[in-house]
Every structure is written in C-alpha cells, then in structure tokens.
Amino acid sequence: MLVASSPHTIGPVSVQQVMFRVWLATLPGFAALIWFFGWGYLINALLAVSTALVAEAIILRLRRRPILFFLTDGSAVLTAWLLALALPPLAPWWIPVIGALAAIVFAKHLYGGLGNNPFNPAMVGYAVLLVSFPVEMTTRWGMPAALASEAHSLAEAAQVIFAGLRVEQTLVDGMTMATPLDVYKTETALTSAAVVREDPLFSAGWRLYGWEWVSLLYLLGGVVLIWQRVISWHTPVAVLASLALLALVFSWAGDQYMPIDLHLLGGATMLGAFFIATDPVSSATSNRGKLIYGAGIGVLIYVIRTWGNYPDAVAFAVLLMNFAAPLIDHYTRPRAYGEQRT
Amino acid sequence: MNLMRLLRGQAAEPGWFDFPGGIHPPDNKAQSLQTPIAEFPLQAQYVVPVNQHIGALAVPCVTVGDQVLTGQIIAEAAGFISAPAHAPTSGTVTAIEDRPVPHPSGLTVTCIVIQADGQDTWRPRAPWPDWPARSHADLLQRLQEAGVTGLGGASFPTAVKLAADRAHIDTLVVNGAECEPYITADQALIRERAPTLYRGIEVVHKLYDFQRILIGIEDNKPDAIAALHAGLQALPETLRQRCEIRVVPTRYPSGGERQLIWLLTGREVPSGGLPMDLGMLCHNVGTLAAVADAVIEDRPLISRITTLTGDHLRRQGNIEVRLGTSIDALLAWAGLDTAPERLIMGGPMMGFALNEPGLPLVKATNCLLVPTEQELPTPPPAKPCIRCGHCEQVCPASLLPQQLMWFAQSREWDKAEQHRLFDCIECGACAYVCPSHIPLVQYYRAAKGTIHREKAEHQQAERARIRFEARQARLEQEAAEKEARRQQRAQAAKARQSESATAVDKASDPVSEAVERAKAKRTGEQGTPNTAPTANLSAEQLQARLDQQRDRLAKAEAKLADAAPEHRKAMQMTVSKLQQQIQKTEAQLQKAES
Ligand code: SF4
Ligand code: SF4
C-alpha cells in the first residue's frame, strides 16, 4: 500500500497548465501583432521557441536532469515566446536566436534552472540584445499596416529577417520603423508636441495604428488570467496605476512629457504589466510585496522612458525590481492569523 | 472588508466574515449521503486501544479473563488530560497487549481485546431525565467517566475542555461546517439526530450559561440546515433566542476551528492560544450529541458515526460503529473490491494513510476513504517551485507557504519560526493548489517535528547545565568551608603561639562568610530558593522519583511534538508542570545528598 502525507489529493492545475494558460492569454495580442505588423512576429516566435527548446534539452542533458520531465513543463517555451513578443518583428534571424540562448542558458540554467532564476529570463535575453545590438533592436519594428504603402507577405518578411541587408534596402525601409514611443520622443525633441500629434501615427481618431489594439488585447488576456487566478491582480494593477499616476502628474508640459495614453498603450506596458512583471519566479511573493514590486516597476518604466536613453523601459524596470524582490519579500511578510498586530 | 461582499450589498449585518485564502475542492459528499445512518452488526472481537484521545494513556483496569459488560470502563483515565475507555460490548477480556493502532506515528499501543458474548448486555445504567437539576460537578464527572472526546478528528477529552474556567466564557461555537471533502458523518448526524445535538447544546449551556450560541454550517448541506432550523423550534424560548444558525459559504477549510471562529465572529484566536482566550468554546456537532447521550442516557462513548466512502467501496454511506471494530471487517462489509492502493483515515485533505491491515476503529475515525486511482490520482513527482504564489493566495493562516518550504528545505529553523511555521494548521490548501505538486505539508510536519525535538534536547542540555552549575557551587562551598576551617586552625595555632590575650577574632567569621557567599551564589543561579518541603525521603528514593518524572516529561514532550496546534497549549502546561516538579525533586535530591 502507498503511504503518503496529507493532502491525498491534488488540485487541477499543473505547471504545464499555468504556462499553457499564460501562453493562451497572449494569443489575442499576438494575433493583433501579426495583423498590424506582419508575419515577422511569427517567424521570431518560432525561431526563439525552437532555439529555447534545443538549448534547454542540451543543458538538461549536461546537467543530467530528466529531459522530458522538464522540457514538457512549458517554461522554456513560454520564456522564448514572451521574448519574441518583445522583439522587433523584422530584426535579423539571429536576434531571437541569441536572445533565446541568453535567456535559457544564462538567465535560467546558470542559476539552477526552473524556479531558481532571480531575473526574468525573457527580459535578460531582451536586455542583452538591446545592449549588444542597439541598431537592430530599435529600427526594425514593423510599419503599421495602415501606414505601409502595401501590405507585405510572409515571404517578404522572411526575406528581410533571413537575408537581412542583402535584400533591397527599399524593402527593409518600406517595412520597418521605430516604435511610437521612440518616434514621439525624437520628434518632440525637434518640434513640439502639437506638431508631433499631427503625425498620422498619432493623429487618427484611434491613433498609433494598431498599437492600442495590441495593448488592449494584452489587457484582455491579462484580465482573463486574473479571473482564472493564474496570476493575482496585485502586480499588474500596481504597475499600471503607478505609471498612469506619474504620467498624469507630469502631463502638464506636453512638450516634455509623453501623454498618458501613449505610456499605457504605446509600448510594451501591457505586455510587461500582465505577462512579464507577473513572472512568478522572479517577483515578490506576498500580496503587499507584489503591490510594492509592481509600483516600483511602474515608476521605473516612467523614469527610464522619460529621462533615460532607451526607447522602452519595461525590460530594465523589471530587471531592476528583480533585484529588489528578495528585499521586498523580507519586509512584507503578511501578518499571520492570530499573530499580534504591531 | 471584503470587496465582493460590498458589491453584493451584504456589508451591513454580516452572517459571516471572510477569511483569507481557502480552496474549493470537489466535495464528493453525495455518494455517502444516499442512505440513512446504518448500524454495523455486532462483531466477535473488539480491540480497544488505550490512547484514543490526546493526553495521558488510559490505564487498563481489567485483567485477562474478566467478564465485562457493555459500557463498562475497562481502562481508567490517568492524569488531568486523559479519558477512559469502555467495553464496546459485553464479553471476555482475552488479551491486553501492544497492537498497532491508527496513529500517524504508526505506534503500537496497549490494547484490550474483548471476545464478545453476543448478548451485548449493558452494565446497569442510570439515565438522568432530570439532568438539569444536577450540579456542575456531577455533570462534568459524568462526562469525564463517559470518555467523550472531540469527534471532529482531534479527540481532545471533552470534559477537560468543559472544565475550563467558567467566568469569562460567553460564546459557544458549534462546528457543523464539515468542510473536508468526502466526509459526511456530521451532516448525516445533523440530518437525523438534530434533537440529540440540541440536547447536547443544552447540557453545555447549563454548564456555562452562554450569551451566544453560534452554529456554523456550510451552505452545501441544505438538508442538515433544514434539520437544524426544525430542531431549533423545539428549544425553550430563552435558549432559542441565544442560538443563531449561521450558514457560511462552502470553502475549505471553513471547518478549521480557527477559521470557523473567524467566519462567525470576525475574531482571531491568538497565535498559540485557544478559543478560550476569546471567551469562546468550540465543539463539533458529533461531540455535542455524544455529550447528550452520555449525560442524559448514561451512554458512554462506545460507538461513533463513520463515513465509509471512496469508489473502491460498493456500499458508501455513514455507519454507526462500536469503537474497537476491525477496520478490515468494516471495509469488507462495505464491499471493498480489491486490495486498495490507499486507505485513508479522515478526509483527503487532512487525513492520514493507514499502512497496516487489522487496525481497530477509534474515537477519531470520522471517515474511512478508499479512493481509486482515478478518483484521487497519486501526485506526479514534484517539480521545482516556480514561485507562482498560488500557495500563498490560498493559505487560510496568511502564511507564505513557499517561503516556509524554502526554510524547511534549507533547515533554517529560526527563519521558519519567524515566518510563523507554528501557525500553520496543516490544512493542505497550499499543497493542493501547488502546480509543481510539491508535498508542502510534509515539509512543514517534518520541520515542526525537528524543531520540537531540538527544543526538547536544548532544554535537556539546559537542565543539565543548571545541575552542573549547582554541583559546582556546592563543591566551591565545600572548598570554601574547608579553606576557612584550615585558616581558622592556623589562626588558632598562631594565637596560641603568640599567646595573645585577645579572644578569637570576633569581627569576621570566615566560615559563615564563605557559606553565605556560596549560598547567595547558588540561589541566584538556581532561580528557585530551596524552600521545597523535604519529605523525609532517602537519596535513592528521590533519585527514583526523579527518573520517573524525567521519563514522564520525555513522554509528554514527545506527545507535545505530535499534538495538534489546538491542544498544544494544554500539553505545554503539563510539560511545564512536570519540569517544575523535576526541578523541585532535583533540589531535594541535592539537599539529601549534601
Ligand atoms: S504553489 Fe507551489 S510552485 Fe507555486 S509558489 Fe507555492 S510552492 Fe511554489
Ligand atoms: S497547510 Fe499551513 S501553510 Fe499550507 S495553506 Fe494550510 S495553513 Fe497555510
């Protein structure tokens, strides 16, 4: 007979399911990305995921861990997937590959594998790329479909990604641009906010041509995750609230500070708040801790976007708060039932 | 204030207060509620263990070959926290020997084996239809002799709980929540025997004169709730006004004593404390029914209602069984189809697996669960913790289960304690939701056990140190006295030599001075002055007594380590009392030796 300690029953949720549900929740946003910015995202994602799986398998082998047992937990897939969502869709093929390698090998396995990484692997991969290949990482964003002179096909996207600069320059130029955050920042520096807002990228009724849709669909996916209790609401709400608050407070000088809608919908904010900052492994644990952790990310996103040199700040904000997570945990242990109030 | 409640507009007069965490496992109660409570046929043999309760083991008071009658005491309570055991039926005592019993530690314990004569002849009984006229002391004594213990699973002697200081207890919490999946013993009892339950409440009310009697029950038991309401109408007006039936939402572990108190009153039992500290008593419905039977019918606790459930059983349901019945016989009766993978006493969340055949049913057996692998699959091998925090979201004690696990793994006991390991009620909610299927509770249990053991060892070392230092002080004193005597002799010799006329030095007397010094040192170190009355015992007798007391202390400490959190305080009292006694004896021994 089998003797085990209680409980003798397990809940319906396994690690695979957690990963799978998070992955599912990114799909609406992902579909919008492809819809608005072309097939590059799909190619990126496939490249990143297969690299991650191969790297994970090899490392598990080297570390003499059961390969299938860990490979099937879905964590490597999800890491690579989230990384791919954050990469410029028309970056050369080796960008997602290197990013995924950095994420799996350095950020995950060098720290001991699943559950032991102090930093969010996807964001480590992203940061490594951004620091090492700033040009590829900032100029190869997809041109919103509505702005592009003609819609580009899967084949064209593949050409740009795999053949890189050896294809006609016009093809690359016709398909890529910087992110709206970047555009806004560089252009306001040259002219004024009022002028910039005339730009078709920002001026249509539903501006940014696709970015809001993507962000809102991420938001939707995130809300579903909260509703399914895969993630708790504390981190995303804190990220968004602190970022929105700062954006509101500073919005009096339009020429210097980005408006709130651009902050919330224009960049990777929603992806970061719901899918990156909530990465369980590297965040704070208690509910109060998550609020502080999330608020810290929101503030850092604002600070780096406004006063920093990088176009988007989610990755660095998350990584910086990863540093602080253990400290936050230390100071936010909840009061236990029956424990004296202090 | 809970947001959902506000939204639902229930903010005004809450029927319940939301506790943090909790889970909703499938309740699996329907299958054992199809039939009324059955009666298990009389068996040829019963095996009655002497440790069916928390506290000191009962002491057998029959010998092999004795004829016993149903309900006759066959083992007497020993000590304050203890309960007697009774003959479940009439027959002959055929053996008194160590046998395996259902206990998490897998202990063997003295059991009294009775060969039934098939007559089931009762000992003379004296029902008290006039029980309200009886004195408190009479009622309590009757309860004590009836061997009633908490029937919710913990088996704390009820008479001890009821003997508590009566002055500031004003609320009775009746626990009918039964939140654990599969178990329906309480629900069946309320459904069919609500009047008996109310009788029990009346008896306890007589002892305490409560201001409020809160009956908590989960909302997935409509039949039982209806029975409660019907039963309430039969109560005398004054009592009825103090009774409130509070239907609480179904959520595991609402039936945990601390959680239920929070649900019903919004107050927290202090950490390490008891409901008594809040002026409350908490009793399970089964216990109260047993109280009524014991006091009014003079029927001691010789049977209980047990749920037989799990898909390996053809006949699932509740059954009233005499204590000491063979569990195997019960399962065979219920149509156990094969040799099961698992046999669980209690529910799937907090029960424990029985690993031996041939165990007897005891007072704590509220459920026997024989699940198939499809029903309750064995957890797959654990993955590493992914720090998802799901465990923390469901912890009803607001702990950080994940952190506790890390500390337990890395053996950082002090940190585990700082993170309130001992406030963990081992409900298993965290392990249930853990997507990595980490056996969290197992870690906590192991950690608690080790910490208790280490503390006990530390205390022992501490006592040894005190003993050693006392001895040291004594030796010093002796040395000082000797030295003083030597000096005195030398001085006297000198005095004689010089033939000085002056008398012996009168200003200072080195002997008494040294004695004083040593004495001061000793009392300072021991903390307790040596005022214990020395019974005129020899050193050997004292030593024997000391050994005996240390023995008992070790036993009590071991038990303390195993004790459920709600009984820990009581056990701690016993332990500290024993420690005091030992100190006293040690002091006496020292005196006797010196
Ligand atoms: S539920 Fe399990 S995996 Fe998640 S944080 Fe808790 S222990 Fe870790
Ligand atoms: S077993 Fe302990 S730590 Fe886990 S949920 Fe229950 S009380 Fe919390």
- Evaluated on CA atoms B311, B316, B321, B326, the torsion sign reads negative
Task: Determine, for residues A1 and B349 on separate chains, whether the beta-carbon distance falls below 8 Å.
Answer: no
Q: Does A232 touch chain B (CB under 8 A)?
A: yes
pLDDT band of B1, cuts 50, 70, 90: very low
CATH architecture for the domain at B382-500: Orthogonal Bundle (1.10)
Of B112 and A92, more confident: B112
CA distance B114 to B38: 23
- Is the pLDDT at B527 greater than 50? The verdict is no
Q: What is the DSSP string of A199-252?
A: SHHHHSSSGGGGHHHHHHHHHHHHHHHHHTTSS-SHHHHHHHHHHHHHHHHHTT
CA distance B280 to B265: 10
Residue of A nearest to B435 (CA): A14
Q: Are A47 and A97 in contact (CB under 8 A)?
A: yes
pLDDT at A249: 83
Residue of A nearest to B403 (CA): A285
pLDDT at A205: 46
Range 181-210 of B in CB contact (< 8 A) with A = 181
Domains by residue range for chain A, with CATH: 15-329 (1.10.3430)
- Is the pLDDT at B289 greater than 50? The verdict is yes
Distance from CA of B446 to the nearest CA of A (A): 11
Buried b (16+ CB within 10 A) or exposed e, A165-193: eeeeeebbebbbbbbbbbbbbebbeeeeb
Distance from CA of A11 to the nearest CA of B (A): 5
Task: Determine, for residues A7 and B342 on separate chains, whether the beta-carbon distance falls below 8 Å.
Answer: no
Q: Does A79 touch chain B (CB under 8 A)?
A: no
pLDDT at B53: 83
- Is the pLDDT at B530 greater than 50? The verdict is no
pLDDT at B532: 43
Nearest-ligand number for the alpha carbon of A18:
1
Mutate which of B441, B448, B566 to test ligand 2's pocket (most atoms within 8 Å of Cβ)? B441
Q: How far apart are the first and last CA of chain A?
A: 48
- Is the pLDDT at B389 greater than 90? The verdict is no
Task: Determine, for residues A13 and B352 on separate chains, whether the beta-carbon distance falls below 8 Å.
Answer: no
Task: Determine, for residues A285 and B400 on separate chains, whether the beta-carbon distance falls below 8 Å.
Answer: yes
Ligand 1 pocket check for B379: Cβ under 6 Å: no
Give the residue from B507, B509, B505 showing the smallest Cα distance to B517. B509
The alpha carbons of chain B give a radius of gyration, in whole angstroms, of 29
- Evaluated on CA atoms B498, B504, B508, B511, the torsion sign reads positive
- The ipTM (two decimal places) reads 0.78
Q: Does B349 touch chain A (CB under 8 A)?
A: yes
Of B535 and B92, more confident: B92
Q: Are A193 and A255 in contact (CB under 8 A)?
A: yes
Token pair, residue B8, equals 């639902």
Q: Are B361 and B325 in contact (CB under 8 A)?
A: yes
What is the SS3 string spanning B507-522? CCCHHHHHHHHHHHHH
- Is the pLDDT at B40 greater than 50? The verdict is yes
Residues of chain B contacting residue A116, judged by C-beta atoms under 8 Å apart: 384
For residue B376, give the nearest of A9, A15, A290 by CB distance: A9
Mutate which of B440, B442, B443, B566 to test ligand 2's pocket (most atoms within 8 Å of Cβ)? B440
Q: Give the tens place of pLDDT for each residue, B333-376.
A: 888 877 788 888 888 998 888 877 788 998 888 899 998 888 88
Ligand 1 pocket check for B434: Cβ under 6 Å: yes
Residue of B nearest to A70 (CA): B383
Which helix (H) or strand (E) is B309 found in, with range? Answer: strand B303-309
pLDDT at A2: 41
Q: Are A260 and A244 in contact (CB under 8 A)?
A: yes
Q: Are A139 and A178 in contact (CB under 8 A)?
A: yes
Give the three-class secondary structure for B454.
helix
Distance from CA of A247 to the nearest CA of B (A): 28
pLDDT at B522: 55
Distance of CA B87 to the CA centre of its chain: 23
- Is the pLDDT at B172 greater than 50? The verdict is yes
Q: Specify the DSSP class assigned to residue A161.
A: I
Range 378-407 of B in CB contact (< 8 A) with A = 378-381, 383-390, 392-393, 396-400, 402-403
CA distance A27 to A318: 22
Task: Determine, for residues B270 and A338 on separate chains, whether the beta-carbon distance falls below 8 Å.
Answer: yes
Q: Calculate how far, in angstroms, residue B398's C-alpha sits from the geometric centre of ligand 2.
A: 8
Q: Calculate how far, in angstroms, residue A333's C-alpha sits from the geometric centre of ligand 2.
A: 15
Ligand 2 pocket check for B253: Cβ under 6 Å: no
Q: Does B317 touch chain A (CB under 8 A)?
A: no
For residue A15, give the nearest of B342, B343, B386 by CB distance: B386
Q: Are A149 and A334 in contact (CB under 8 A)?
A: no
Q: What is the DSSP string of B345-365?
A: ES-TTT-EE--SSSPBP-TT-
Q: Which CATH number fits domain B2-121+137-345: 3.40.50.11540, 3.10.110.10, 1.10.10.10, 3.30.1950.10?
A: 3.40.50.11540
Q: Does B6 touch chain A (CB under 8 A)?
A: no
pLDDT at B498: 74
Nearest-ligand number for the alpha carbon of A75:
1
pLDDT band of B514, cuts 50, 70, 90: low
CA distance B147 to B21: 36
Q: Are A72 and A60 in contact (CB under 8 A)?
A: no
pLDDT at A158: 72
What atom of ligand 2 comes closest to residue B404's alpha carbon?
A: 3
Comparing A46-50, B419-423, B496-500, the range with the smallest average pLDDT is B496-500
Ligand 1 atom 2 nearest Cα: B434
- Evaluated on CA atoms B231, B237, B243, B248, the torsion sign reads positive
**pLDDT, mean of residues B66-76:** 89
Count of positions (residues) in chain B? 594
CA distance B471 to B465: 10
Q: Give the tens place of pLDDT for each residue, B124-156.
A: 888 888 888 888 888 888 888 888 888 876 778
**pLDDT, mean of residues B22-49:** 89
Give the contacts of B32 (CB within 8 A, at least 6 positions apart): B182, B184, B188, B307, B308, B309, B316, B317, B318
pLDDT at B572: 77
Q: Does A9 touch chain B (CB under 8 A)?
A: yes
Q: Specify the DSSP class assigned to residue B132.
A: G
Which helix (H) or strand (E) is B110 found in, with range? Answer: strand B108-116
- Is the pLDDT at B3 greater than 60? The verdict is no
Q: What is the dihedral of CA B289, B291, B293, B298, to 10 degrees?
A: 180
Give the contacts of A74 (CB within 8 A, at least 6 positions apart): A15, A16, A19, A20, A23
Token pair, residue A153, equals 């096909």
Ligand 2 pocket check for B424: Cβ under 6 Å: yes
Ligand 2 pocket check for B426: Cβ under 6 Å: yes
**pLDDT tens, per residue, chain A with 342 residues:** 344 677 888 888 888 888 899 899 999 988 888 887 778 888 888 999 999 899 888 888 888 888 777 777 888 888 889 888 888 877 888 888 888 888 888 878 877 777 777 778 888 888 888 888 877 777 666 666 555 555 566 766 776 676 665 555 556 655 555 566 666 766 666 666 666 666 665 655 445 567 778 888 999 999 999 998 888 898 999 999 998 898 888 876 666 677 777 777 777 788 888 888 887 777 788 888 889 999 999 999 888 888 877 766 788 888 888 888 888 888 888 888 877 776
Comparing A120-124, B45-49, B556-560, the range with the smallest average pLDDT is B556-560
Q: Are A180 and A143 in contact (CB under 8 A)?
A: no
Residue spans of the domains in chain B: they are: 2-121+137-345, 382-500, 545-594
Q: Calculate how far, in angstroms, residue A88's C-alpha sits from the geometric centre of ligand 2.
A: 44
Q: Is the peptide bond before A7 cis (omega within 30 degrees of 0)?
A: yes
Range 17-56 of B in CB contact (< 8 A) with A = 19-20, 23, 25
Ligand 2 atom 2 nearest Cα: B424
Distance of CA B412 to the CA centre of its chain: 27
**pLDDT, mean of residues B397-422:** 87
Q: Calculate how far, in angstroms, residue B436's C-alpha sits from the geometric centre of ligand 1.
A: 7
**pLDDT, mean of residues B251-265:** 89
Residue of B nearest to A279 (CA): B388
For residue A338, give the nearest of B269, B340, B435 by CB distance: B269
Q: Calculate how far, in angstroms, residue B19's C-alpha sits from the geometric centre of ligand 2.
A: 13
